[in-house]
Amino acid sequence: MLKSRRLRLKRFFEEYSLQAILFTDLRNIRYLCGFSGSEGALLVSRDHAWFLCDSRYTAQAADEVQAAEVKECAAIRIDTIVALAHEFSLGRIGFEAAHTTVSAFRRMAEKLSSIELVELGPNLDEIRICKDDVEIEQLSMVATLSSLALTAVLPKIKPGVREVDIALALELEMRSRGAEGKAFDFIVASGERGAMPHGRASDKAIQSGEMVTIDFGALKDGYHSDETVTIACGKPENRAREIHSIVKTAHDLAIEAVRPGISCKELDEVARSYIRNKGYGDNFGHGLGHGVGLEIHEMPTLSPRSIDVLKEGMVVTIEPGIYIPGFGGVRIEDTVVVTGNSCRILTSADKQLLVL
């Protein structure tokens, strides 16, 4: 499996005439060799790979790293890279420019003066854009775990309960179901706070009749889930019901339109044009969605400016919303995997308007 992932590097070796690629981004390292620790580097040549770490990680690397030779670097890692480059004639090495700081690059360039370093841009991360079966299974599992955690927490949502209490209860439920942690700081935004698309849980107490937007996700085996529900705590105002219904229809229309070959821009427009025709075009400011995987936000991007096209195996969110300053907001989000002719929804919390 990991070897087949490395085949995705082939086009970079060819396009840039490289002898090796150096990875320091932990997500890419995990994807390509299985190492889940917090420090290391992976050097991949056309026919070999070396995982470099210090003594703190040697045992973990021996356990986790697949299809790569583990090399413990006693002193400075860059010296080991120089030695490998000379031993195996790796004269031209690509590196992840998008994940390298200027100072790290300067240090590397100084030490590797005999080697040509080639900047590989953010498109290197595209190797992870289409998920393989193992990843889809992991993303499916974490999505299910997270949706079940929400279902367990819903009965706790009552007038007087603070947004942070809900966020904490949700995290506890996720962890007790096997999550390593939360995928991001949950958004729990009630009443007027719902107008903030990224309103993190505050100590505000929820009032009767308020809408509550909960955007949540779990992290397991390095993979993230992402889902949003907007519920009503007690009988909502008619306008809130109407907005929920518009967002729900926009969400459903977009999910129905997901298929390989559709451009992400066109898919965004499916939801956006519906919301615009209902008179709320100015109240949907963000893109329709994003890729989810080893990062919570990764490629592709679903927005009016996107140049991406959906392909089978991509895992993306569909999350239209309407935000009205001084009133509140509604967002509904599911994570889906693009299949051969449509999509399968991985997240499973009910998206109908739930009145608690």
The site for Zn ion (CB under 5 A) is made up of 215, 226, 228, 317, 333
Closer residue to Zn ion, CB minimum distance, 165 or 226 = 226
- Shortest Cβ distance from residue 223 to Zn ion (Å)? 14
Of 56 and 198, which CB lies nearer to Zn ion in the complex structure? 198
Measured between alpha carbons, how far is 141 from 337 in angstroms, rounded to an integer? 13
Cβ nearer to Zn ion, comparing 118 with 141: 141
Between 45 and 317, whose beta carbon lies closer to Zn ion? 317
Cβ-count burial 307-337 (b if 16+ within 10 Å, e if not) = ebebeebbbbbbbbbbbbeebbbbbbbbbbb
- Asked if omega into 300 is within 30° of 0 (cis), the reply is yes
Q: CB atoms < 10 A from the CB of 212, how many?
A: 23
CB of 229 to Zn ion, least distance (A): 10
Write down the least CB distance from residue 319 to Zn ion, Å. 5
CB count, 10 Å around CB of 301?
Answer: 19
Task: Work out how close the CB of 32 gets to Zn ion at its nearest, in angstroms, rounded to a whole number.
Answer: 25
Q: What are phi and psi of 69, to 5 degrees?
A: -85, 125
Q: Where are the alpha helices (DSSP H) in the chain?
A: 2-6, 10-15, 26-33, 58-64, 77-87, 102-111, 133-153, 163-176, 238-257, 264-277
Closest distance to Zn ion from the beta carbon of 277 (Å): 24
Q: Which is nearer to Zn ion, 124 or 183 (CB)?
A: 183
Our CB check for Zn ion shows the closer of 228 and 303 to be 228
Q: Which DSSP helix (H) or strand (E) runs through 301?
A: strand 298-302
Q: DSSP letter at 355?
A: B
Least distance from Zn ion to the Cβ atom of residue 326, Å: 23
